[in-house]
Structure 1
């Protein structure tokens, strides 16, 4: 049974000086994620799956370093997006992006060397052999954060390729030029958050940053506010552990959804995507309720 935890009104609101966003460094995020997956695998009942995702993250790190350099973003398009309060990365245009297609092809070719169960191996083979129209369908689902639960396995590999490409695109942007788009929407690529974290980093202590499941940008969001509907009413917290848990479900009674929130000031080694998967126990407990998971993580689809 989850424990209900009341919000602390004193932490409502943001800090004006807190940066809106932290853009990803592909040379750091994927190796860091790989190490975190490997560490978590050693103490989890999900060990084999976490180990596989750790190896996949290592492959993402290698490909991010080896793939040809991307052209710089169009300055006019970025400026127009800022004026219109749109994310500068237009996901709808990426479905036909040759660079993303190359990234997926490289990942499919090299992922075959990873240790994985037979169903995953067959899913990888299916993606590698898929005709262009099928790959576009898979990529469209990934880029719209709408992966069907009955085909999670092939989408996992497509999502891994998309994460590489989106992170490389986001890394070319200027964090200071980004503007808020909408509650619960990444200001860089328009993706949904996987989770959010309350940071303990110097200068931004106790500030919440949502983590994009796609490009890995982290952006500032007001605490005690639903990342799905923006409501500040009816927010409560549930935990599989205690009041001092490092991960909780932030529940919104207005839209009947929930999103994980981590407390990185209690454990600075938390990585939003890896720890989201490793805390599957909270997801299973929340499945016993009528609430819908609002966070999107392609590595958790189907669970």
Structure 2
């Protein structure tokens, strides 16, 4: 496997950028079904087909279980005002003891039982489905901390999938125009870490870069050639696997020695930050033995 290094700034044209919005909120009614289709598409030509097809099923389950759920209960006016005043995300990542999340877990774990999966994954699902509410909340806290226990990754992936549904529904209730930057590498809706970023081809935002939250799936605008992890504009370079069309690169930073994936949706319109992250595992393998550590949060690749 060869790589292509680029010590110079990202050569992709930046002049096309118009006036992108700061944030784009998720639409839970279409988000997970579209991701499922992308997983299926990517599986058709991938050595990771069994895993990608499993994740397609899990994404479809995330979509299906929303039917009949009671409306999400978003932040009240006081919480929104306080968040703006103190430059905090308006969605709290803790205090999830309510019934809504447990209902999502119950529905998702039941739906996931019908997905074709390896025996170890089936055993992990059985364990998390049998866990009581407090045990699930402990696992949820581990997911929110961005550190999955090495001996229970599969269980926590199922919990992460439930949390995504819960937080995407909450984020969809926000007013995108009132969201403001919080910090580098922090989602302005929920405080989650990014799974990756994308240079998009969206009307009105062509050539702009957006980060994608690994938890609530909010997109937020972030300038190009700037470290997503520490905010540095020095020592930024790009690495990629040769002959891949330049649709995905590793953006590296010599200041914090971190790297994150950047997808070029303006070149591959079907690109989706979570599905394409898994399908581009080869880039992770390329970077694994180098001097940089991967930043953000990519739970679906935690076991690789």
**Aligned counterpart, 1:17:** 19
CA distance in 2, matches of 1:13, 1:145: 35
What residue is the counterpart of 1:120 in the other structure? 121
| Aligned match of 1:274 | 275
Gapped regions of structure 1 (runs ≥ 5):
none
Q: How does 1:1-303 map to 2 (within 5 A)?
A: 1-5=2-6, 6-8=8-10, 17-94=19-96, 96-242=97-243, 244-303=245-304
Deviation at 1:243, TM superposition (A): 8.5
Whole-Å Cα distance in 1 between the matches of residues 175 and 38 of structure 2? 27
Contact 2:18 2:204 in 1 (8 A): no
Contact 2:16/2:206 (8 A) holds in 1 = no
More off after superposition, 156-165 vs 61-70: 61-70
Tell me which moved more, 264-273 or 135-144.
135-144
User: Secondary structure in 2 aligned to 1:276?
Assistant: helix
Identify if the C-alpha distance between structure 1 residues 41 and 260 changes in structure 2 by more than 3 Å, giving closer, same or farther: same
**1:134 CA displacement:** 2.1
List per-residue Cα deviations over 1:49-105 (Å, max 9, x = no partner): 0000001111101112332212243011011101111000010222x2321121111
Counting matched residue pairs gives 302
Greater mean deviation of Cα atoms: 185-194 or 198-207 = 198-207
- RMSD of aligned C-alpha atoms? 1.8
Partners of 1:246 and 1:14 in 2: CA distance:
17
User: Any conservation in 2 of the 1:108–1:157 contact (CA below 8 Å)?
Assistant: yes
Q: TM-score, normalised to structure 2's length? A: 0.95
User: Counterparts of 1:89 and 1:24 in 2: how far apart (Å)?
Assistant: 14
1:122-152 superposed Cα distances (whole Å, 9 cap, x missing partner): 0000001123332121110112222223321
